[in-house]
Structure 1
Amino acid sequence: MATLKHIASKNSDYTAIEAYLVYQHDAFTGNQLLDEHGRPKLRESYLLDTLECGDFSFATACLLANRKYGKNTQHGDIKSHQYIISFDPRDAADNGLTMERAQALGLNFCKENFPGHPAIVCTHPDGHNHSGNIHVHIVIGSIRMREVERKPYMQKPRDWLEGMKHSSTAQTMRHLRVEVMELCEGAGLYQIDLLNGSKERVSEAEYWARRRSQLKLDRENAALTVAGQQPRQKKFETVKDTLRRQISSVLYRATSFEDFSDRLMQQYGIAVKESRGQLSYLPSGRTKFIRAKKLGDKFDKAAVLATLQANAERKPKTQFKQDTIGKLIHIQSRMTEGKGIGYKRWLTKHNLKVMAQTVKLLQEKGLTDEDALNQRIAELETKYHDALAVVKDLEGRMKTNKELRYHVAAYTSTKKIAQQSKAAKRPVAFEEQHRAELTAYRAAAAYLKANNITKLPSPKKLEAEYAQLASEKAKFYKQYKEAKEELLKLKTAKQNVASYFREEEPAQQER
């Protein structure tokens, strides 16, 4: 599950990034941590190499490039770019990922994608969140110091000519994300789809604001606990966190855009507007709208309209009012809490109503005999657990069927392109042009091979099998639900009878 993050820096002090990679820093302030002698503390473990720097350090190589080509002279110029490849914490234990192996992958990634740029490649064993994820920092000077061979993904002269500056465009990031996905696939590491965005997008600034505020809140809560007070809030929410939660709570109940906007305004005072095909939200108390892309892909126009349409098409579930019975309340235990005589009268009436419901239920079921009641409860428990086991089994088979249908469809739709790649006159260019399709084909082929599927099943047969499984699940789920409801009623009735006679005995003795 490797991820890729990009950071552009306008800092003209090129030694600062190397110091960050080598020495320990405070995660919140960014300041170097010092030892008892006032000297910077080295990181406990790291691997660092430089590329395209010649006999010079990274900082010197970048400064020489700036002077040679007369660039990066203004304060607002981007001086360097940093790309961070963060691997899944499980890769170390499950797939044998070590720092040395990650460093080698990072060096090769840098050579392939940033040729001609002075670069630092540094691997750390863990991140600031201490999740155990090995990650690689790739820092490049913004100016290319030599002309390189043009590759298929390079679209403009600045991508290969000497003296040109690197530009991290949307097309560049898409290419690099595909490269990371293929890197993980080739190395046998965990991976995710990096091309389809994030449902809830958290920026670097929001992430650190959340962490700093959470740390402050934890300290305040600790002080309240010591003072014997109960903390009111345990998890800190940013303005965007709160906005995401409020929009989500409305989005899954609304059935039209008008309904969606009206509910947001009535319940939370949030205004929503559409501009140039994009949605923006204005929380109560703010004067500037927050664009949907700052919150995540699930809040943009296409995703919102799709959810609203699905809500409108979903058939309302028929709700049956179930005859329920309440539970007896132990009067004496409640009276010891200092309740008044009026509360005791209310409890007495409540218990009389509950017992009337209990007796009526047992008479209707013909279970006024204790042995018959216990036998019926045992039968229902058996029926409940058997039906639940069947439902779980059917759900697992439905999930497997769904995964197989997905991979069969992907394999079928991309197989022709995979065959064309073998006969392509320019394999590298063809690979780059159809990178997404070929990646989907290889993933589907790997799934079929892992499951020993040599002959593709018919999609229609798979759909029919899924429909049959869904029908069986509905039947057994109905049995499970009915058994559960009746079981809960009878257990409550049995408990009420036992509680009633336990409370009646001391009352009779007192009289």
Structure 2
Amino acid sequence: MRCCCQRFEQSNCNKNSDYSAIEAYLVYQHDEFSGKVILDKQGRPMLRESYILDTLECGNFSFATACLLANRKYGKNTQRDDIKSHQYIISFDPRDAADNGLTMEKAQALGLKFCKENFPGHPAIVCTHPDGHNHSGNIHVHIVIGSIRTREVERKPYMQKPRDWLEGMKHSSTAQTMRHLRVEVMELCEGAGLYQIDLLNGSKERVSEAKYWARRRGQQKFDRKNAALTAVGQPPKQKKFETVKVACRGEAPPFAAQTARSLKSPTGAFVASQTRTLRKQISSVLYRATSFEDFSNRLMQQHGIAVKESRGQLSYLPSGRTKFIRAKHLGDKFEKGLVLATLQENAERKRAVQPKPDRIGKLVDIQAKLKQGKGIGYERWAKKHNLKAISQTLILLQEKGLLNEDALDRRIEELQSQYDHAKEVVLDLDARMKSTRKLLEQVAAYNNTKNIAQQLKTAKRPAVFEEQHRAELTAYRAAAAYFKANDITKLPSPKKLEAEYALLASEKAKFYEQYKEAKEELLKLKTAKQNVASFFREEEPAQQER
């Protein structure tokens, strides 16, 4: 067991007809990497240092015999591909032993109770071990059940079909069943006063079985090399194994084949350290972006990572790869639903902390509004509003030293000129940034696919090769067409393009601040000028009436 927290999982569905091998695994010591039994000096299997084992629903027979009798009685499990047994594992938090008084005996009792309530009618072995592969001290319980139910049981709410409760039927591990079992484990731990986690939502950053064992094997080899260096008096340069490769053929176990294919590098192997870096890069952008467009732009600008949405799922393409990595292989928080939720939270938080600009209200033409049918209440509000607006206007003009009409007009002309110039520069820089980013994307696509295009020239069956690499060749031809259309004969360096893009972004930010400041002050002064003109227009009729 490798986890350091409470966990429930279905370890495997076993097709092995040798039921005694299951008990042997639970009782004898096995090499954690090869799975082979460890022998003593006399060549005999070595018992585990400590374990507790009980059987259920087996009568006076052993687990293996009870399963074989059930197979013969109901005429099932006669084919090689038939599932003969199922194994489930409950792994407790290492802290439970010290903090909550968890012992092997207590864990065994919890395992027996869980098995009786959730797998009635199935021959079963319940075995508790004191520690796992990583020696973290996590007590865990193995529950192995024969696949055939030997008696009819009471129907439970999670049971969907008659096969789930009738005698002679085989156990079916459906999604609804697994959800029920996870809830049962959570309630079991809560009732026993043990630590627990949310088993229904899983881990935010997944570590597959293949990646876990690849890291363990890599670290073991690394430790051996370091030991050899230490023996000859040379200090090891590195103690922690960082780059772990799982070959797509041979080394990865069958159940990890899909993961290995989906997360392989251009050389044909998945590099775990690169995935950790990719997670960090995406996370650093995710918690700052406020929209999906902003998220996509920042990923490309800062880390050269492209992101796309297809069939409701997100995929990421780091620089140097030709195939996208699906979000589900990186973790829950990188999938579409949680990404969009995080972006929305960021946007709401930004709006909440963003101060409102100090604006000046415009004077309301009260008489015109009354002629349109506004009532006395509106007139009362409008008078208060106008009084406040003209007060704001006078304060602004006094602070700016623009009480003279000519000075006010000159200042408005200056600000208009600054505003127009800054806006023109910002639009020009924005267009250049888009062009640079487009060129950077095309250069990356061209560099990543040019080897495929060269292989096409020497392929024995060009049509078949073309069909197999249609996506890469399409990207290569699109990039070549873009270069030709823009008269680009020598490809620029990606690093130079990234530096140029960063410089343009810096310049744009500087001029955008000038543009924003000029715009805000210009709007205030134009409003102030309109308010002064409106105020004196209203004063003239009032003086004539007097």
- TM-score normalised to structure 1 length: 0.57
Q: Sequence identity of aligned pairs in percent?
A: 81
Q: Say whether the 8 Å CA contact 2:15–2:81 is kept in structure 1.
A: no
Structure 2 Cα separation of the partners of residues 311 and 215 of structure 1:
43
Distance 1:288 1:140, change over 3 A: farther
| Alignment-mate amino acid for residue 230 of structure 1 | K
Q: Say whether the 8 Å CA contact 1:47–1:123 is kept in structure 2.
A: yes
Residue matched to 2:374: none
**Is it true that 1:231 corresponds to 2:235 in the alignment?**
no
Q: Say whether the 8 Å CA contact 1:6–1:83 is kept in structure 2.
A: yes
Structure 1 Cα separation of the partners of residues 45 and 185 of structure 2:
33
Structure 1 Cα separation of the partners of residues 321 and 69 of structure 2:
47
Return the offset for 1:286. Answer: 5.4
Structure 2 Cα separation of the partners of residues 185 and 138 of structure 1:
20
**Is it true that 1:273 corresponds to 2:318 in the alignment?**
no
> Superposed, which structure 2 residues align to 1:349-498 within 5 Å?
none
Residue matched to 1:250: 285
Return the offset for 1:70. Answer: 3.4
* Aligned with residue 35 of structure 1, among 33, 40, 46: 40
Residue matched to 1:305: 340
| Alignment-mate amino acid for residue 247 of structure 1 | I
Q: Say whether the 8 Å CA contact 1:147–1:161 is kept in structure 2.
A: yes
Structure 2 Cα separation of the partners of residues 221 and 313 of structure 1:
51
Residue matched to 1:408: none
* Aligned with residue 166 of structure 2, among 153, 161, 172: 161
Number of residue pairs matched by the alignment:
318
> Superposed, which structure 2 residues align to 1:323-334 within 5 Å?
none
**Is it true that 1:68 corresponds to 2:103 in the alignment?**
no
| Alignment-mate amino acid for residue 33 of structure 1 | I
Residue matched to 1:8: 12
Q: Say whether the 8 Å CA contact 1:224–1:231 is kept in structure 2.
A: no
- Aligned with 1:136: secondary structure? strand
Which stretch shows the higher mean deviation, 30-39 or 269-278? Answer: 269-278
Tell me how large the CA RMSD over aligned residues is: 2.6
Return the offset for 1:44. Answer: 0.3
Distance 1:309 1:48, change over 3 A: same
Q: Say whether the 8 Å CA contact 1:281–1:289 is kept in structure 2.
A: yes
Q: Say whether the 8 Å CA contact 1:10–1:75 is kept in structure 2.
A: no
* Aligned with residue 78 of structure 1, among 83, 87, 91: 83
Structure 2 Cα separation of the partners of residues 300 and 292 of structure 1:
5
Return the offset for 1:191. Answer: 1.9
Return the offset for 1:210. Answer: 1.7
- Aligned with 2:296: secondary structure? helix
Structure 1 Cα separation of the partners of residues 27 and 41 of structure 2:
18
Distance 1:159 1:201, change over 3 A: same
Distance 1:281 1:163, change over 3 A: farther
* Aligned with residue 100 of structure 1, among 105, 109, 122: 105
Q: Say whether the 8 Å CA contact 1:50–1:118 is kept in structure 2.
A: yes
Structure 2 Cα separation of the partners of residues 287 and 8 of structure 1:
34
Return the offset for 1:138. Answer: 0.4
Q: Say whether the 8 Å CA contact 1:214–1:236 is kept in structure 2.
A: no
| Alignment-mate amino acid for residue 46 of structure 1 | Y
Structure 2 Cα separation of the partners of residues 64 and 270 of structure 1:
58
- Aligned with 2:346: secondary structure? helix
Residue matched to 2:56: 51
Return the offset for 1:267. Answer: 5.1
Return the offset for 1:144. Answer: 1.4
| Alignment-mate amino acid for residue 311 of structure 2 | R
Q: Say whether the 8 Å CA contact 1:2–1:192 is kept in structure 2.
A: yes
| Alignment-mate amino acid for residue 174 of structure 2 | T
Distance 1:235 1:163, change over 3 A: same
| Alignment-mate amino acid for residue 306 of structure 1 | A
Residue matched to 1:213: 218
Q: Say whether the 8 Å CA contact 1:8–1:78 is kept in structure 2.
A: no
Distance 1:200 1:44, change over 3 A: same
Distance 1:40 1:264, change over 3 A: farther
Distance 1:25 1:171, change over 3 A: same
* Aligned with residue 26 of structure 1, among 31, 37, 49: 31
